[in-house]
Amino acid sequence: MSTLLSNAPKAPADNHLGCLITCSVDELRPHPSLVRLNIVPSAHDLSAAIRQRDQAIKEPLTITRDRYILAGHAQWNMACRQGDTALLCLQLDMTEEEALLWLIQKHQRSSSINDFSRILLALELEPWFKARARSNQQAGGKMKGSSNLTEADKLDVRSEIATAAGVSVGNVSKVKRLLQEGAPGLLESLREGEVSIHCASVWLHNSEKQLDQLRLHQNRRGITKTIRSLQRRHRLPHPGKDGPLDLQRIASSLATMDSNPKTSVLVGEIQAPGKVLLLSTELLQALESQGELPL
């Protein structure tokens, strides 16, 4: 194991170093990296904070000695909106870099900050990891006055970024390329979790059609969501003893349908993944009345 990896900084634990204090809402603020990257609490976080408030659950925010919020952003946002003056906080003794590392690792297993946003946050620590690598080189007598990192140490730095974000080194490389070549709309969709890092990186192979691919992807997601919603709301259990509707019997019934009713059937195409056929209740009843489908 390399020197950098073996000496990699670990985020301080909550216990022993923390102390409970009451802070004014006005003196608390998000970590500067969250502000720079415009990473805000998700709707899920806000809903959870509202439930906790309704259930009178008082969980302290986690903050640094500089009053940067590490956990509890949604509670703080809600407190600001509702005019609260003070909040209970667990203060941890950390530097700004250690605090950011703690924040990233805290959200590795949560849905609040997705992979792309965690990588963005971890990339903020790249200068810190590089400084540690140079320090380790000097300590090991490898540097010999040079300020450049070896290729092995560069790989180790990228590995540390990946470990901090809880992702693969490959995804870190993809995100760095996306930041250089990705269209603003594509980057925003990554931040919102609408598209995966892998899909976005594939679209970079044809940079002129990035946004076309994104729009197609968004349309498919929207249509799929609508279809699933319609299925949940309108898919009725078929009363026939023969069980679910059969595609072949539906096709045969449509083929033998009288010409007048057939001309009143609206036919259209949708762009959706998979093979989907939706029938309205009125059309299903019309087919059943022909005797081709079980009543």
| CA separation for the pair 107, 113 (Å, rounded) | 6
Residue 277 lies inside a defined structural domain of this protein = yes
Mapped onto helix, strand or coil, the DSSP state of residue 61 is: strand
Residue 210 lies inside a defined structural domain of this protein = no
Model confidence pLDDT, tens digit, residues 153-196? 887 899 999 999 999 999 999 999 999 988 888 888 898 888 88
Higher pLDDT: 292 or 4? It is 292
Residue 269 lies inside a defined structural domain of this protein = yes
Q: What sign does the CA torsion over 9, 11, 16, 19 have?
A: positive
Residue 281 lies inside a defined structural domain of this protein = yes
Residue 243 lies inside a defined structural domain of this protein = yes
Q: How confident is the model at residue 207 (pLDDT cuts 50, 70, 90)?
A: low
Average confidence score pLDDT of the chain = 77
User: How confident is the model at residue 12, as a pLDDT?
Assistant: 47
Residue 50 lies inside a defined structural domain of this protein = no
User: How far does Cα 143 stand from its chain's mean position?
Assistant: 40
User: How confident is the model at residue 239, as a pLDDT?
Assistant: 47
Half-sphere exposure of 266 (CA within 13 A, CB side): 7
Beta bridge partners of 68: 29
What are the Cα distances from residue 206, in Å, to 17, 209, 279? 50, 6, 38
User: How confident is the model at residue 2, as a pLDDT?
Assistant: 40
| 214-230 average pLDDT score | 59
With contact defined as beta carbons under 8 Å apart, do 76 and 25 qualify? yes
The residue behind tokens 């090991």 is 140
User: How confident is the model at residue 56, as a pLDDT?
Assistant: 65
Model confidence pLDDT, tens digit, residues 82-133? 889 999 999 999 888 999 999 999 888 777 789 999 999 999 999 999 988 8
Residue 268 lies inside a defined structural domain of this protein = yes
Residue 63 lies inside a defined structural domain of this protein = no
| 132-146 average pLDDT score | 68
User: How confident is the model at residue 293, as a pLDDT?
Assistant: 61
Model confidence pLDDT, tens digit, residues 97-106? 999 999 999 8
| CA separation for the pair 143, 132 (Å, rounded) | 13
| 26-36 average pLDDT score | 92
- Asked if residue 6 has pLDDT above 70, the reply is no
In angstroms, the first-to-last Cα distance of the chain is: 71
Number of domains forming the structure of the chain: 1
User: How confident is the model at residue 220, as a pLDDT?
Assistant: 60
The residue behind tokens 């009543």 is 295
- Where in the sequence is the domain holding 283, given as residue range(s)? 239-289
User: Alpha helices of the chain — where are they, by DSSP H?
Assistant: 3-6, 32-36, 43-54, 73-82, 96-106, 115-123, 126-139, 151-165, 169-181, 184-192, 197-203, 210-234, 247-255, 259-263, 281-289
What pTM, to 2 d.p., does this model score?
0.63
